[in-house]
Structure 1
Amino acid sequence: MTFKGFPRGVRYLPVPAPVFGPLLEQIKDASGFIITLRIIWMLQQKKGRIRFVASEELYGDKILSRALGNKDSIETSIDSVVRGGILLRIKRENASDVFILNFEEDHHLVSSIGSIDEGTDLYTEPWEIENNSPKIYSLYEQNVGILTPIIAEKLTEAEDKYPTEWIIEAVGIAVEQNHRSWAYISRILERWYTEGRGDSGDGKPPRYTKIDRLL
């Protein structure tokens, strides 16, 4: 499918300047660049004092799977970027490896994150790992309307583009505002995607904006 161009008002994300300078020369294959950019994007979606990406998140990420292939291919690309010094791999006891960008000021986090086992990981929210389509389908049928093949396809496309929590929240807004249609839900998602969801000041995104209520 041909990319149709960046929409008006598209949201920008901060990326370390060396990624588009010396690292372009260092990263010899496209897979390493894909992994690097995807992890930067994932970290931007995280909340909390300590932010990292777990290996399961990378293996289960739908975009990486389509771009790079299976788990072994993703792991090979990760290893290449780690060896190049772009990422730090942190091994945790009784839990999966996690990754952070190799910022000098964050080196002290290695021991802190390494001591966080799977049962006490309270500092970050995981990105989508599993295919949540059945849950999304059920959510739509219970709150919006009949799940036709066309709507099912649109929901699948939305899952590929947006975090699942966005879709769930957008459905909730549609119900709350009594605008139970996919057109209304998709406009909310597109607005969040292009303009950002904003921040209420307490670290939690607002349920919706004034503009969303008027859609």
Structure 2
Amino acid sequence: MTKFNGFLPGKQPTFAVYTQFISELLPLIDHVVELKVTLYAMWAIQQREGTFRYLLRRDFTANAAFLAGIGGEAALDDGLARACARETLLSTEVELGESPERLYFINTALGRTALEQVRLGLWPPGDEGLVEILPERPNIYRLYEDHFGSLTPMIADMLKDAEKDFPLSWIVEAMRIAVAKNALNWRFVQGILDRWQREGKGNAVDQRPDERDGKRYISGEYADFLEW
């Protein structure tokens, strides 16, 4: 048995381990290579920068001492497979150049979000064979796609402009009013926002259009384009 000489004196670099790892995950891991791979991944992921962090297989193989300590690349692949089967690590494959590349995420809230973003195709190739994971789209973009239709570049620009001009809560509420009235077009939402800004949000903005005189619910620049 090779003995450990002890930790060096003075302040040494450290990394964080979730308390849940000790209380819940550690008792479940019954394979030493899986344990080593899991701990190495937790350390290595914290050496990365950015909101959405991931590891590649080469991040494990690049550490010769670690690789020798677990028994080589075959053992590494077995350890990664076990950690993924347990869902301590999450993984997905992307096409980079001529060959696919597998990305590994820690199963945290950010890791799950990153995995979903990659699976949705929200990533471009980056430098040195890496990928850039795009941030999760704001709530109004998802709300539009869920209830109004496809997010075209023109609509995306309108949403961006709306974010600059109005509070997010206003936009979400106006979209929900449009959904409730089955007026599923952005002009209707824009009309509500314009009226709130012009007349004050406290007015009765969700009243039905006056059918007696043919006046539309929304007045102003977009009134002639509203679809009922």
Q: TM-score, normalised by structure 1?
A: 0.51
Q: How far off its partner does 1:68 sit?
A: 1.3
Distance in 2, matches of 1:69 and 1:117, equals 35
Aligned to 2:117: 112
Q: How far off its partner does 1:38 sit?
A: 0.5
Q: Which secondary structure does the structure 2 equivalent of 1:45 belong to?
A: coil
Q: How far off its partner does 1:119 sit?
A: 4.9
Which moves more between the two structures, 8-17 or 73-82?
8-17
Aligned to 2:4: 3
Letter matched to residue 13 of structure 1: F
Aligned to 2:60: 58
Count of residue pairs brought into register by the alignment:
124
Runs of 5+ in structure 2 lacking a partner?
A: 134-228
Q: How far off its partner does 1:91 sit?
A: 1.4
Distance 1:122 1:49, change over 3 A: farther
Distance 1:55 1:10, change over 3 A: same
Q: How far off its partner does 1:62 sit?
A: 1.4
Q: Which secondary structure does the structure 2 equivalent of 1:107 belong to?
A: helix
Q: How far off its partner does 1:84 sit?
A: 0.7
Q: Deviations over 1:109-166 (max 9, x none)?
A: 1132353465563549xxxxxxxxxxxxxxxxxxxxxxxxxxxxxxxxxxxxxxxxxx
Distance in 2, matches of 1:117 and 1:30, equals 36
Letter matched to residue 53 of structure 1: L
- Partner residue of 1:25 out of 19, 24, 27: 27
Does structure 1 conserve the Cα–Cα contact (< 8 Å) formed by 2:91 and 2:104?
A: yes
Q: How far off its partner does 1:6 sit?
A: 1.5
Distance in 2, matches of 1:102 and 1:34, equals 16
Distance in 1, matches of 2:93 and 2:66, equals 22
Distance 1:117 1:54, change over 3 A: farther
Aligned to 1:93: 95
Q: TM-score, normalised by structure 2?
A: 0.49
Q: Which secondary structure does the structure 2 equivalent of 1:110 belong to?
A: helix
Aligned to 1:196: none
Aligned to 2:46: 44
Determine which structure has greater relative contact order: mean sequence separation of CA pairs < 8 Å that are 6+ residues apart, divided by chain length: 1
- Of Structure 1 and Structure 2, which has the larger fraction of its residues in helix? 1
Percentage of matched positions with identical amino acids: 16
Distance in 1, matches of 2:40 and 2:17, equals 11
Letter matched to residue 103 of structure 1: T
Letter matched to residue 5 of structure 2: K
Q: Which secondary structure does the structure 2 equivalent of 1:93 belong to?
A: strand
Distance in 1, matches of 2:124 and 2:71, equals 29
State the Cα RMSD in Å. Answer: 2.2
Distance 1:102 1:62, change over 3 A: same
Distance in 1, matches of 2:109 and 2:47, equals 22
